[in-house]
Amino acid sequence: MSNHLKHYLSHYLALHPTQEMKEMFWATAMRSFAVAAVGVFEPIYLYKLGISIQGILLFYTAHYALYFLLTPLGGRICRRHGYEQTILLSSPFLILYYLTFFAIPYHAVFIGAAVVALTIHKILYWPGYHANFATWMNSQESGREVSNRFAIVALASALAPFFGSLIIVTFGFGVLFVSVAILILLSNLPLLRTPEFYLPTKFPYFIALKKLASGFGSSRFWAMFGFGEQLIATVLWPIFIVIMIPSLLSVGALVSFSKLVNVLITLYVGRLSDEDRKDSVLHSGSFFTIASWLLRPLITGPLGIFLIDTYYLISRNMIVVPYFSFMYESARQGNIMASIIFNEMALSLGKIVTAILAMLALWLLPGNSWTALFFVAAFMTALYSLMPYSGLVRDRIKIISDPV
């Protein structure tokens, strides 16, 4: 029995992560639970306040426009103060975001404050998060380390939406936001276990813009641009669910069960990625995820939503596990922060364009807007499959080899 278990672990789990990677796993798990408890309800909260879907899209458009402009500053802070220190610095702004989110019903000025707080959090968190993983990953088991990370996130956040819905139904959104704030603070504890050693270096703002311009239109750019699909998945899909299923408790339970089914499949995808099948796994995942969007206009009822959401999560993990493995391996070949900032800026543009396309669909096709939105998501998903070819333009876009 022990030999069988050892064989299983060696095939599906990363057995030699660094101490820094272990700390990131724990911190990510705790933060993921906190964010998942409230994340699916953020757009629903705005929708129930009476804000139109177009207004909600404008909120996120403003956020990603500001994120695009400020992301190089986040990279600069990371390079000066260290990746883990910058991640720690981001936490108070995420807490502030949830507090301002709760205050929106009291005054419209808090909408702008929420946009600013969320943006500052992200420009500090995501560059440090991705750079830390890229720095400390084991290249021999990168696929399993990425899949283990996503499996940990999926497991930690599986019951979180149901937990969040219980708090909302029992105590209201305010108690949920405060509970999440406490959990976010606790998620920093693993990163404090060992000191971070780093050498402060410069990261010029305009160099980041120059690198983005030189890489515009490359396979790498379009692969990151495809993350516009995520905007529809995280902002519009929850609203669609709550329109179909008005009970928030049912919404939380449905999303939780979908995430739970997803965990074991994620580990298997990581194993395939380490067996030099990243390309085929990613392309298969793109095909199945596109299908999940094209099938959504046909679904009805809670069972249909559960099945399509589960199918989507499994399919999309077939994309993101090899996708991020490609991304981290590529970043490790040269300047990690320059590569991460390029990715985040291209991602921002993808989400801005997707939001604009979604608003146009809602305006021009009021009777078939959801079908149009799902087709936009399917189109953006197809762009993910370009990631395996991004290395072909590495020298031209100059985001890897430059010393900045």
Whole-number Å distance between alpha carbons of 357 and 337? 30
Whole-number Å distance between alpha carbons of 338 and 131? 10
Whole-number Å distance between alpha carbons of 152 and 133? 14
* Per-residue pLDDT, 205: 83
* Per-residue pLDDT, 235: 94
Q: What are the domain boundaries of the chain?
A: 16-191+202-397
* Per-residue pLDDT, 176: 85
Label residue 13 left, alpha or beta by phi (over 0 means left) and psi (-120 to 50 means alpha): beta
pTM of the model as a whole = 0.84
Encode 385-400: b = buried (16+ Cβ within 10 Å), e = exposed: bbbbebeebbeebbbb
C-alpha angle with apex 248: 242 to 250, nearest 5 degrees? 95
What is the second-level CATH architecture of the domain 16-191+202-397?
Answer: Up-down Bundle (1.20)
pLDDT by 10s per residue, the chain, length 404: 444 434 444 444 455 566 777 777 788 888 888 888 887 788 988 998 899 999 999 999 999 999 999 999 998 898 888 888 888 899 999 999 988 988 898 988 999 999 999 999 999 998 888 888 777 766 555 556 666 766 777 777 777 877 888 888 888 888 888 888 888 888 888 877 766 666 667 788 888 888 888 888 888 899 999 999 999 999 999 999 888 877 777 776 767 666 666 665 655 555 555 555 677 778 888 999 999 999 999 887 888 888 888 889 888 888 887 787 777 777 767 677 888 899 999 999 999 999 999 999 999 888 788 999 999 999 999 999 887 776 544 433 444 444 34
* Per-residue pLDDT, 399: 40
Measured in Å, how far apart are the chain's first and last C-alpha atoms? 52
Which residues contact residue 148 at a Cβ distance below 8 angstroms, ignoring those fewer than 6 apart?
Answer: 13, 14, 17, 25, 267, 270
**336 closest CA partner among 129, 85, 26, 122:** 129
* Per-residue pLDDT, 344: 93
**118 closest CA partner among 59, 178, 63:** 63
Asked if residue 220 lies in contact with residue 338, where contact means CB atoms within 8 angstroms, the answer is no
DSSP 347-399: HHHHHHHHHHHHHHHHHH-TTSHHHHHHHHHHHHHHGGGGGGGGGGGHHHHTS
* Per-residue pLDDT, 266: 59
